[in-house]
Each structure stands twice: as structure tokens, then as C-alpha cells.
A and B are shown apart, each in its own frame.
Chain A
Amino acid sequence: MTGEGLRTENRMIYLTRRAEFSASHYYHNPDFSPEENQRIFGKCANPHGHGHNYTVEVTVAGEVDETTGMVLDLKDLKAVLETEVMQRMDHKFLNKEVPVFATTIPTTENIAVEIWNLLAAKLPSGRLHRIRLYETDDLFVDYYGD
């Protein structure tokens, strides 16, 4: 099947897959005094942590493959997300159970950058375009790798 009518070459498509995970975190910088930590991070400084239902949207950019009609196989994207993000972060206390966040504060900004780092090299095809991470319905960050 060559698709006589529809020409898709040179057209960039952005495909987004959404996934949800739940995790807890707290904000603390050991270089700050307890008073500074409290002033800067407020309620988020509680050392026992607090949780969120995070929603991550992974956007992949690529051209449509002529034989499959796809930018990439969604099963593969789902599998990479599962291994790289879900298994590492879902139902975890990020500060204690995800090694990178032992030394980096697990703010939504930093989690988005870490998810980018975990996924960028693992995509079977296409190019990672954006990580959007919702901490709540009303608050999200975008990271484009720059």
C-alpha cells in the first residue's frame, strides 16, 4: 500500500501519550538552615512528605512512516514509559526511593527534567519534543530539553 492520495512525507507530527503516577515528596536543601527551608519551601518542607497524583504527557515529534502510518509504535512508547518512569516513580517517596532525588530536590521542574533524561535516549523512533508534568490540575511544567 503506497497511499496514492495522501502525501505525508516532510510533515512533522506531534504525538502525545499521557500517563499517571502517584508519589510523595518534600522540599529540603541541606545547605539552607531550618528557618530558610521553612521560609522558602513552606508547607512543602514537611520532612515526612506529601503526595500528588502526577500526570505526565510525553510528546514525540516525527514524520509518519509510510508503511505503518505511524510516528512510532504506541506499544513501544508505553513500554518505555512503564520501565523508565512508572516503575521508578509510581507509588514511591521520591526523596528516599529515587536515587537522583537524594541530591536533587524533587520539585515538579526537576522531575520533568529527570523524566526527559530517562526517556530521550530510549525512544524507538521519533524525537522527544516535550515533557509536560502536571502536579495538580492547576499547575504544570513544560520542558523541551533546552
Chain B
Amino acid sequence: MVSLTKRYRFSASHRLHNEVLSAEENSRVFGKCNSPYGHGHNYSVEVTVRGPVDAATGMVMDLGLLDQAVEQEVLERFGHTYLNLDVPNFKGKVPTTENLCVEIYDLLRRKLEGTKGSADLEKVRLEETNSNSFEYSGRDSAAAMREKE
């Protein structure tokens, strides 16, 4: 089994704000990220798929299929948008990079499962800046804690 990772980039803006919290609480919890007009990032997303190497092609999967899936599900949907208002996925949900990472994982998982010739999605790693990154492998937290024990 080999894992293959490809990096893609997109830019978007967001505002961290939760309507159920008061203005003071929002400001306290989210700090600068609560600034009312939003702010942007250059996101870098690393998509990892895993599978056996096909004996005839020497590949885990056709990179063209992966490019197509990421293009459709991630780059077109989120690229150059204001995540809070332009993307229905974040209606009623704070577009933190954690939530965006999980959303990208779910979208790609569904897409790749329906793509003939695709390897399995293993992990999505999303960088918000050079210093902050988030990873999601689709595991529920209870199972992850048990594995650690």
C-alpha cells in the first residue's frame, strides 16, 4: 500500500463569529478573527489517498482523476469566496479551518467513492498559514482515543 499526497491552493475569506454568542463573547473567543468584514487566507490543502500500486500503470491512482475531484469539490466551491456568505456549507457553522478541513474531507470522500478507479481518501491536511495546519482522517474522536490507549 502506498499513500500519495498532492497539494492544492486556494484563497478565501472568512469571519469567525457565532450568532448564539454575545458580541463580547464573540470578540473574546475569536479575537481578531471576529473582525466584522472578514479577512482572507491563502489556504494550502494536502490530499492523501492510499491504495495498492496498480501493476500495469505503477500508480496508486490517475492523478487526473484526483485533480478533477479536487477542482470540482474544493477549488471551484471555496476558491475566491467569502466562506460565511458565499458557500451554503457554512450556513449556521463557523468556518474555522477545523470545520473547513472536515468539510473538504467529507466532500472528497463522497466524490472519490463515486469515482471509478479512485484510491481511498486517507487524510486531508489544511494549512491556513505557514504556521497553522489542521488534519482530519475521518476518524471519530472516541475511536481515536481508544487507539492511543
**Chain B interface secondary structure, helix, strand, loop or mixed?**
mixed
- CB of B53 within 8 A of CB of A109, answer yes
Q: How many residues of A contact B (CB 8 A)?
A: 25
Does B145 make an interface contact (CB < 8 A)?
A: no
Report how far A43 CA is from B146 CA in the complex, Å. 46
Segment with Cβ contacts to A, from B4-12, B27-35, B80-88, B90-98: B4-12
- CB of B59 within 8 A of CB of A42, answer no
Does B89 make an interface contact (CB < 8 A)?
A: no
Q: Which residues of B contact A31 (CB under 8 A)?
A: 56
Does B62 make an interface contact (CB < 8 A)?
A: yes
Of B7, B56, B64, the contact of A139 (CB 8 Å cutoff): B7
Does A113 make an interface contact (CB < 8 A)?
A: yes
Q: Which residues of A contact B7 (CB under 8 A)?
A: 137-139
Q: Shortest 10 CB-CB distances between A and B: which pairs?
A: A105-B58, A107-B58, A138-B7, A142-B3, A109-B53, A109-B2, A110-B58, A141-B4, A139-B6, A143-B2
A-B contact pairs, 30 of them (CB 8 A): A27-B57, A27-B58, A29-B58, A31-B56, A40-B57, A40-B62, A104-B58, A105-B57, A107-B57, A107-B59, A109-B59, A109-B60, A110-B58, A112-B2, A113-B2, A113-B53, A138-B7, A138-B8, A139-B4, A139-B5, A139-B6, A139-B63, A140-B4, A141-B4, A142-B3, A142-B5, A142-B48, A143-B1, A144-B3, A146-B1
